Amino acid sequence: MEDPLDDIFRALADASRRSLLDRLHARNGQSLHELCEGLDMTRQAVSKHLAVLEAAALVTGVRHGRQKLHYLNPVPIQEFTDRWIGRYERGRLSALTDLKQSLEGDKTVSNTNTKPEFVYVIYIQTTPEKLYEALTDAEFALRYFGGWGPKSDWRTGSPVLWKMGPDGDYEDLDQEVLEATPGKRLAYTWHRIMPMMRELFASDEEYEQARKEKSKVAFDIEPGEVPGAGVKLTITHDGFDSPDSKMLEGVSGGWVMILSGLKTMLEGGKPVA
């Protein structure tokens, strides 16, 4: 069986495709028309290059109305580090996280307020039913969230409680279930900026303004596009007030690590410590 990394290396070997990744790094969430602007390539050539990047999971295409928007996807980079470096030198995982974040940066924010602001795709060798169960089982979630995680009866309108650490209790942070379709979709509102994040703000006024922001997260589950790809999980986290949102900055790196751990556990392994 061909190694999935082969697709990644083939995709990155072409300078034109690397140029497209650079453009998405500079401004994520672009349409085909936007990506073609200023390039010495035909629309058809750009479309073909994007297809190769999508096949390698380096780019994610998301439908938004009548447009298809393209997002830089850091999943393969994370999987590469887990496979080839993390197992040998775990002490440098923080440095690898910095590398991942430099690829994502805050550029997961789209260029208008009408577009999803953080989009992440991961393929997991499991079933839609087991993946949905993993997202909604409180005890299982504690394992890949690292000692914290959500708990709910997962009925529309029900509260989502959060355990904020291994020694904490489940708390009501004013979150609620927006949609829950087993095996297909889960969505809920996200908690506001926590008091522990106060030091990230220059003033009390800035902090209090940030606390008004209330985002939401959605998990869409569907079969992979090709046989053997596994189940495709797309997470969309949006509703942030600005590209400089501290919450957006936090979840952008956090979701990648959390769902990487989820993938490892569902495929029979243990998350990297």
Q: Which of 136-140, 147-151, 266-270 has the lowest mean pLDDT?
A: 266-270
Q: Report the 10 Å Cβ neighbour count for 234.
A: 18
Identify whether residues 84 and 219 lie together within a single domain: yes
CATH at residue 107: 3.30.530.20
Identify whether residues 35 and 149 lie together within a single domain: no
Identify whether residues 58 and 116 lie together within a single domain: no
pLDDT digit string, tens, across residues 86-105: 554 444 444 445 555 555 44
Could you tell me if residue 27 is inside a domain? Answer: yes
Is the Cβ–Cβ distance between 135 and 147 less than 8 Å? no
Give me the sign of the Cα torsion angle 123, 127, 131, 134: negative
Could you tell me if residue 272 is inside a domain? Answer: no
- Domain boundary among the residues 30, 49, 73 is at 73
How many domains does the chain fold into? 2
Identify whether residues 114 and 217 lie together within a single domain: yes
User: Within a 13 Å sphere around the CA of 11, how many CA atoms are in the beta-carbon half?
Assistant: 21
Could you tell me if residue 260 is inside a domain? Answer: yes
Identify whether residues 93 and 60 lie together within a single domain: no
Average pLDDT over residues 140-167: 92
Identify whether residues 53 and 81 lie together within a single domain: no
Identify whether residues 69 and 93 lie together within a single domain: no
Q: Which of 18-22, 60-64, 231-235 has the lowest mean pLDDT?
A: 60-64
Is the Cβ–Cβ distance between 218 and 103 less than 8 Å? no
Pick from 117, 134, 76, 62: nearest CA to 238: 117
- Domain boundary among the residues 13, 46, 73 is at 73
User: What pLDDT was estimated at residue 40?
Assistant: 87
CATH at residue 23: 1.10.10.10
Is the Cβ–Cβ distance between 161 and 266 less than 8 Å? no
Identify whether residues 167 and 230 lie together within a single domain: yes
Average pLDDT over residues 218-237: 85
Identify whether residues 117 and 247 lie together within a single domain: yes
- Domain boundary among the residues 53, 73, 93 is at 73
Average pLDDT over residues 101-111: 47
Print the domain residue range for 54: 1-73
Is the Cβ–Cβ distance between 119 and 108 less than 8 Å? yes
Determine the Cα angle at 236 with ends 79 and 260, to 5°: 20
Identify whether residues 153 and 220 lie together within a single domain: yes
pLDDT digit string, tens, across residues 118-147: 888 888 999 999 999 999 999 999 999 988
User: Cα dist. 165→142, 147, 149, 169 in Å?
Assistant: 9, 5, 8, 8
Task: Kindly state the tokens that stand for 44.
Answer: 């058809």
User: What pLDDT was estimated at residue 110?
Assistant: 45
User: What pLDDT was estimated at residue 108?
Assistant: 46
User: What pLDDT was estimated at residue 90?
Assistant: 45
Say how many residues make up the chain: 273
Query: Is 70 exceeded by the pLDDT of residue 74?
Result: no
User: What pLDDT was estimated at residue 227?
Assistant: 66
Is the Cβ–Cβ distance between 105 and 98 less than 8 Å? no
Q: Which of 68-72, 152-156, 186-190 has the lowest mean pLDDT?
A: 68-72
77: confidence class by pLDDT, cuts 50, 70, 90? low
pLDDT digit string, tens, across residues 4-44: 677 888 888 899 998 998 888 888 888 999 999 988 899 99
User: What pLDDT was estimated at residue 65?
Assistant: 77
Is the Cβ–Cβ distance between 20 and 50 less than 8 Å? yes
Identify whether residues 59 and 81 lie together within a single domain: no
Identify whether residues 66 and 84 lie together within a single domain: no
